Every structure is written in C-alpha cells, then in structure tokens.
Amino acid sequence: MKNSAMSFNLIMKLSITIILFLLSSSAISCNQSLLEPQFLFGSDILVKENLHLLDGERVGIVSNKNSVLINGTHLVDTLLSLQINITALFSLEHGFSLDFADGVLIKNSKEKIKSIPVHSLYGKAKKPTKEMLADVDLILFDVQDVGARFYTYISSMFYILQAGAERNIKIIILDRPNPLSGERVEGPVLDNDYKSFFGIAPIPILHGMTIGELANLFSNENYIASSSSDVEIIKMKEWERINYWDDLNLTWFPTSPNIPLFETALVYPGTCLIEGTNISEGRGTVNPFLTIGAPFINPKEFVNELNSDKINGVKISPVKFEPVEIKGKAVNPKFNGEECYGINIKVTDKTKFSAIEFGLNLIYVLHKLYPDKFEFRENHFDLLTGTDRIRLSIEKGESPDHIKKLWQEQLDNFKKIRNKYLLY
C-alpha cells in the first residue's frame, strides 16, 4: 500500500508539472504572438493614421469586392461608418462584384452601392470622364493587383492618375502586396509600339513592384501626360520584398474570376501567353491557367518534351479536359465542348519556379511538336509580350535561352529605373 501511495503521489506531481509546463508554454506562445508585428494594408493605415486626409473632401473610391481591411471589413463600409463623404465609386474590369468574365465590357448604368453611384472604367470609357468626376475632390485607389503587366488593373490606375493630373484631383494609392513578391523582375520590357490596355507603360511582364510603387514610377518617369499630378501613396506595414502572398498568412481572395487560387497567380504571368495562341489556357475549366491543352495534343509526348527542359519548381502531368461556358468566368472558351488533351501544372517551389521561363518553354515546345496545327494569334500575342520579337524568334525555331537574351539589356535598364521608386 505504501508503494502504491508513493507511486500515486509521484504521478500526481509529474502531472501537475506537465500541466504547469504546458500552461507556461501556452502563455509564452500567446505573448510572443502579441509581440509579433502585424501586417497591415495601406487601407488599414489610412483608417488608423491618415483619416484627416479625407476631412471635408468629396471622396471617390476605385475598388472591388476585395478592397477589404485586414479585419475583413470593406473599405467603403468602414469609411461610411466613419462619416466620410463618399460621392462616387469606380469599378474596373470584371466589375465591382468580380462577376464579369475577362474582356466583357461593362456599360455605365444607374447602379448604386450603399446609395453611391458606380461608374464603370471598363466600358466605353477607360479613363474617368469630366462628368464622372464632377462631384469628386479626391480619389482613393484600393485594388489588389496580381503582379503581371498585362493584368489590366494597373492600366486603369494609369488612366486614373492621368485624369487626376488633368483635373487637379488628388489621388491616394492605398498600397497592397505584390502577391508574387517584390523581387521577381523578369520577362520582356514593353516596346512603346505595342502599348495597349494589356501593357500601358515600358515595364516587364513581372515588374516586382506594388501598385503604390508603380504609381510612383508612372507619375515621375514622364509616363503621365501632365506633370502636375498630386499623388500620395499610403504604405503597408510589415511587408518585405521577399514576401509572397502566402507568406503573410492571408487568405487568398480571387482577384478576378479566373484567378481563383494563389497558385493560379503564380503561373499566370507565363501561361497567360497561351491566350495569344490557338491552345486552350484552361478557361472554361475548374483550373484556368493551370490546365493547358488542345484536341490535337499528345499529352504524354508533350509532358516528356517539357520535362526534358528541366524547369525548376514545377510538376506537370497529363490531363484530359473539356472546356465549357461558365457564367461570369468563361464566354465561348476555346474548344468549347470539345475533348482536349494537355497538361496540368503544379508549382512545387514558388521561389525556384519562373513563370516567364515556363510560359516561353510551353509555347516553344508546342510550336516544335505541332508546327502544322499550332497557331499564333499574332496581334494578341504581341500585345501580351509587348513586342513581336518573341513570336518571330519562336517561328524561326530559336531556343528559349536565345530568346531570353533578346530582352536582357532592356530588363537591366528597367531595373535601374525601378530602383528609384521602391518604397520597401
């Protein structure tokens, strides 16, 4: 009995010790999390520290449904609750609710949100008109970009900066992360002869800049027609250039209908080039830009040829799929209702994966394997790449390594310009 009592006491002491240790560890963990600096969007900093900038102003806001603060509340709701006088909202491609497919023009209507008129900047007008700005003294821009030159939100920002300069309206950019980090600067720099809404300024496909930094660049490198622009950037807190989106422990919200996943954003700067060909980029499937193919492709042959190039950070596998129309996502997709064969793409190491290199290799291999069936949609492809040199080189059979050398000098020059406008 004595031994049993001693054993019981020993067990109790050990149990209490373990419980105290666990409680202590939990407390330390909680204290550490409280001490860790919290990432904040530019919109959070506006509300916390810079609300005085909006005092007495008639405020216009460029936004969509993803324009939320770190706590998940929408910027418009937050500012209305603080009695800010919001007189106009402006929507970009895909609309305020992000329920319009790519390229679908959005007519101006009498739509209102919270009794505030909404003006479309992806319809007849790409730049705010005099009438749209009649009741606006100041514009807030709070839109999450994806980090690629041909994603049209930055082209819209360019025109908004231009309109502000022309009409003496202050523009405040509420900065947001580049989801692909602030270090990846890759791809061809836009030739001015190929300037379009897919490429509004001479920057590379992967520019490695935030929207605030791009606004800084656009406003100070004589890209904006008027030199009288009044632009202020409200920076994020605790964002570093090395950070990808998922490094910030943020939930991914689709930046547009066909970028449903963070992984989609990772491959998009490369696989979007497929848009400029007769190959399906996966629109009309559950994995747009991660699924590539056509009815005439031999998937095993395609995979083997791509694997021979030994591209880092990605795994590809054969896939069969059938594109279909999806309301708000895919209008008459390529090979609508036809059985297609191709590849499924899985990024295994985002830091080693180069979307530009992968996209270039994709198109080079497709042209090599199927010269009689593969076709460029020349104008669209050249606008996406910002030059005709890449297409012409592929048509000549020049290697991806040779093609990459064609843009290196321009890219190096851009990096020198870019460095002047980095905020982080």
Distance, in Å, from the CA atom of 268 to the CA atom of 102, rounded to the nearest integer, reads 14
Positive or negative: CA dihedral 260, 265, 270, 273 = positive
Mean pLDDT, residues 101-124: 86
Distance, in Å, from the CA atom of 233 to the CA atom of 174, rounded to the nearest integer, reads 6
- What is residue 106's predicted lDDT score, i.e. its pLDDT? 84
Mean pLDDT, residues 245-255: 96
- Tokens 């007519």 belong to 107
Model confidence at 324, pLDDT cuts 50, 70, 90, reads very high
Could you tell me which of 159, 167, 146, 133 has the C-alpha nearest to residue 219?
159
- Tokens 């054993």 belong to 7
H helix count then E strand count, the chain? 11, 12
Q: How many residues does the chain have?
A: 424
Structure tokens at 398: 């020049």
Could you tell me which of 263, 248, 282, 255 has the C-alpha nearest to residue 349?
263
Structure tokens at 179: 């989801």
- What is residue 228's predicted lDDT score, i.e. its pLDDT? 67
Question: Three-state DSSP class for 247?
Answer: helix
pLDDT of 230-239, one tens digit each? 999 999 999 9
Percent of the chain with pLDDT over 70: 90
Kindly state which CATH superfamily the domain 42-247 is placed in: Uncharacterised protein PF07075, DUF1343 (3.40.50.12170)
- What is residue 110's predicted lDDT score, i.e. its pLDDT? 64
Are 323 and 280 in contact by the 8 Å Cβ rule? The answer is: yes
Model confidence at 100, pLDDT cuts 50, 70, 90, reads confident
Taking 70 as the threshold, does the pLDDT of residue 126 lie above it? yes
DSSP 67-95: -B-TTS-BHHHHHHHTT--EEEEEE-TTT
- What is residue 294's predicted lDDT score, i.e. its pLDDT? 99
Mean pLDDT, residues 97-101: 87
How far is CA 189 from each of CA 38, 200, 249, rounded to the nearest angstrom? Answer: 35, 11, 32
Whole-number average pLDDT of the chain: 92
Contact residues for 56 (Cβ-Cβ < 8 A; gap 6+): none
Q: What is the largest CA-CA distance in the chain?
A: 95
Mean pLDDT lowest among 70-84, 193-207, 299-313: 299-313
pLDDT of 54-90, one tens digit each? 999 999 999 999 999 999 999 999 999 999 999 999 9
Q: What are the structural domain ranges in the chain?
A: 42-247, 262-387
Pick the CATH number of 262-387 from 3.40.50.1860, 3.90.1150.140, 3.40.309.10, 3.20.20.70: 3.90.1150.140
- What is residue 99's predicted lDDT score, i.e. its pLDDT? 86
Question: Three-state DSSP class for 365?
Answer: helix
- What is residue 97's predicted lDDT score, i.e. its pLDDT? 87
Taking 50 as the threshold, does the pLDDT of residue 165 lie above it? yes
Taking 70 as the threshold, does the pLDDT of residue 214 lie above it? yes
pLDDT of 265-301, one tens digit each? 999 999 999 999 999 999 999 999 999 999 999 999 9
- What is residue 69's predicted lDDT score, i.e. its pLDDT? 98
Structure tokens at 46: 């506006």
Distance, in Å, from the CA atom of 188 to the CA atom of 269, rounded to the nearest integer, reads 12
For residue 192, count other CB atoms closer than 10 A to its CB: 9
Could you tell me which of 364, 366, 356, 278 has the C-alpha nearest to residue 323?
278
Positive or negative: CA dihedral 119, 125, 126, 128 = negative
Percent of the chain with pLDDT over 90: 83
- What is residue 248's predicted lDDT score, i.e. its pLDDT? 96
Mean pLDDT lowest among 79-88, 90-99, 330-339: 90-99
DSSP 131-157: TTTTT-SEEEE-----SBTTSTHHHHH
Q: Which residues of 278-313 are buried (b: 16+ CB within 10 A; e: fewer)?
A: bbbbbbbbebbbbbbbbeebebeebbebbeeeebeb
Mean pLDDT lowest among 163-167, 227-231, 244-248: 227-231
Structure tokens at 316: 């590809």
pLDDT of 138-158, one tens digit each? 999 999 999 999 999 999 999
Distance, in Å, from the CA atom of 395 to the CA atom of 423, rounded to the nearest integer, reads 40
pLDDT of 4-59, one tens digit each? 444 444 444 444 434 433 444 444 334 434 456 799 999 999 999 999 999 999 99
- Tokens 């890449």 belong to 390
Distance, in Å, from the CA atom of 90 to the CA atom of 370, rounded to the nearest integer, reads 44
- What is residue 137's predicted lDDT score, i.e. its pLDDT? 98
Taking 60 as the threshold, does the pLDDT of residue 360 lie above it? yes
Mean pLDDT lowest among 224-233, 237-246, 251-260, 403-412: 224-233
Distance, in Å, from the CA atom of 302 to the CA atom of 415, rounded to the nearest integer, reads 35
